[in-house]
Chain A
């Protein structure tokens, strides 16, 4: 197995890892860096449980090679601390088993940063890429609506 050395900036820290060129960002986060908040729900982009932010934009880390991450700023759920969206998820009971939660929160956070006043349509466009199997989505909707200040403006 050919290995290569890689420098990744993750949650504001430079981290050096030895990886296979074919390793996905998700594999590296979990297996090499111990950042297990990103979850391997399907490994082909269907479920969104592995969602992270790359240069502040949402990205499914199972769909990106680790080597593509060099020179970018990567944020994982572990890099999010005390944000309103995390608090909103807690207060609105927006999770049950919690497995999809990091992905939903990362996607929501990226959305809030890119579109702080997103309307319903925009929110749907973003969040429909994640799957939650426990809730009926109502609580997730309430959580995100509670942090979008002026929807649609």
Chain B
């Protein structure tokens, strides 16, 4: 192949290194037509709002509107439980209490500071385990009364918004076949995505009622749908634009700032209003990364064959459900690691707490449940006195096996776990030993984990592509995938160049998405961009090939099947010198006498997920997504036995990606995801006080990985094709993250000779666990 697999430079590269790349806020900088919305947020995690006094704030000159919560519809993607601005009580630290619209951001901020709110503190639910205790304070008093999707079942008078069940096999039988069992608990608190671009939206309501929203979102089509549903506006009258997005990682797949911008615009007669979140708001007010409390019990024969797994996941969805129900469901779908286990019982709950609420996070519950499950696998390996990678290898799931939701695997819908394990063992020199003594303080240890992921997006998720020809024979590629940094749009151009056997420079990619003129791509999430948009694109490519050949056949008086295509020409297979250049036919063909035929070539293609099913309420049985991509990771750490500090030296990742489409881009996705996983594993968490307040909503106290704090990355790809996917490619955007927290936990547990079951794995945690502090 000429283009597929090559490290083609991304199409928007020049713009991004010259400062010309425009993100949402950039387009409105200095725009005097735009008013500015600023937020007053709650200083408490759970409190009754006694009064909100805006009298002084109104006196600030330049204030155009001050909006509080009454009279606004409830919002939420799966359960409508969230007032966009708090009513009666606040349920998390950072929740929006009032929204001020003013001529200038400084004026708006000043007015915010003059709003006086009186609160009465309420008891706080500070973890999902606390939330499910008998007599726990209720975050939502009447959860069963909210409008919600049909398949969601909140438990009345509780903090549980949904229970997802996996029932596979027979547990009694599973335990009776088990000669060895282990049981352990795992937990971590919510954290954040911290995309470098904070969320921003601008909304204007035109005189004819059309609502224009520009937003930094991974889901502009969902913005359109939800704003339509919440505010009862015809869906065709909402137009959402999304330019380049400065990082998402799942966080921008939730609809949030757009709702505030719409409310603000409506309050000022439809004038354009911008809501740009500060870093602090972006961390705690807008949706964050889910937390988890997990319990896992595993049973195996003495020779290591897994027989039974009983699992409970309590997902810390925070104060509002948003995507928490769906996150807990995804955690249930792939509740184990990539292993064949005959008897599985899993209860995966979405739980309300008084924490910032959760949106998707790269991997959609998979790194989270894998942390628990893959730690449990190492604990079992220790109990069995068996090499942990060997234990994984002999239990690896593969063709013929049944997944937790009882999908029968084949050679296409799952990658090759065993090959990934074998390669990562070889690369990391695993068999040379897990512990190496460097000196009296430092030891070098290795920890491993396997990973798998399917997507659990709705079974009717769609994507589409449009190709239009320019008169010079070049092609415009229009897809609903948002360019959030993954380079998917460049990869789509590579697919088109490959299929049409043409120069990729002659393909022009439209970077921005506009929901009125761009075909829908459900959401830019779940590592499904290249798959779904790719399928749509290839159909569009076939469409233009047919059109080009038909018009050429007419002109050359040949048969369509006698024609071939390449280098922007359609020509006779028999004699390639006879043919037409795209530019002669792209906008119709004109005969010497002026007669013309054809017209502009416009290609269309669409795709909808195939043969997915809803999951059975009682057993979880069903087909959740198109394929499982798999991998294995090893972390190599230098650990200081005196002070429990450590340094991650090397990070090995072997992923079965089906087919590498753009080598450098794919590798960058893997190392970037691994870096994010390492940050999640080793340092990042919200620190909550007893009142549920986040103590570190800033990048100096919540400190991401910085330059030179990274390990050496060793990445290798296995290619087991996914038959349905363009060129056989599997997802690659998230997988590099998924095994890291567990692998690091396993390595450090070996190093410290103690079971480390919480995140982040900071030296203090190791010290506390080791010394029982």
Contact = CB atoms under 8 A, between A and B. Distances in A.
Nearest to A32: B30
A44 B245 CA distance: 22
Contacts of B13: 90
Contacts of A80: 18-19
A119 to B, nearest CB: 12
Contacts of A140: 707
A36 B707 contact: no
A41 B106 contact: no
B19 A78 contact: yes
Contacts of A39: 23, 196-197, 246
Given A37-B20, A39-B196, A135-B671, A98 B698 contact: no
Interface stretch (B389-397, B483-491, B620-628): B483-491
A65 to B, nearest CB: 14
B281 to A, nearest CB: 11
B728 interface: no
Contacts of A132: 196, 707
Contact of B707 (A35, A43, A98, A127): A127
B485 A96 contact: yes
Contacts of A100: 196
A133 B676 contact: yes
Given A128-B707, A134-B485, A97 B668 contact: no
B153 interface: no
A41 B29 contact: no
Contacts of A120: 708
A134 B672 contact: yes
DSSP class of B's interface residues: helix, strand, loop or mixed? loop
A45 B120 CA distance: 35
A137 B708 contact: yes
Contact of B668 (A20, A78, A135): A135
B106 A98 contact: no
A73 interface: no
B249 interface: yes
Most-contacted residue by chain A among B16, B26, B196, B248 (CB, 10 A): B196
A46 B196 contact: no
A97 B29 contact: no
A95 B17 contact: yes
Contacts of B700: 44, 46
B195 A97 contact: yes
B710 A78 contact: no
B460 interface: no
Given A43-B278, A127-B708, A96 B668 contact: yes
A70 to B, nearest CB: 20
A34 B279 CA distance: 22
A89 B60 CA distance: 46
A105 B19 CA distance: 10
B158 interface: no
Contacts of B668: 93, 96, 134-136, 139
B710 A138 contact: yes
A42 B19 contact: no
Contacts of A41: 196-198, 279, 699
B17 A96 contact: no
B675 interface: yes
Contacts of A61: none
B168 to A, nearest CB: 37
B665 interface: yes
A78 B676 CA distance: 30
Contact of A136 (B30, B244, B279, B671): B671
A42 to B, nearest CB: 4
A6 B12 CA distance: 35
Interface of A: 1, 20, 22, 30-44, 46-47, 49, 76-78, 80-81, 86-87, 89-91, 93, 95-102, 105, 120, 123-124, 127-141
Given A96-B486, A137-B706, 11 more contacts: A37-B20, A47-B699, A80-B19, A93-B10, A96-B668, A101-B16, A128-B709, A136-B672, A136-B710, A138-B710, A139-B671
Interface of B: 7, 9-10, 12-23, 25-26, 29-30, 104, 106-107, 193-198, 244-249, 276, 278-279, 484-487, 664-665, 668-669, 671-672, 674-676, 698-700, 704-710, 713
5 contacts: A22-B106, A36-B29, A96-B669, A97-B197, A135-B671
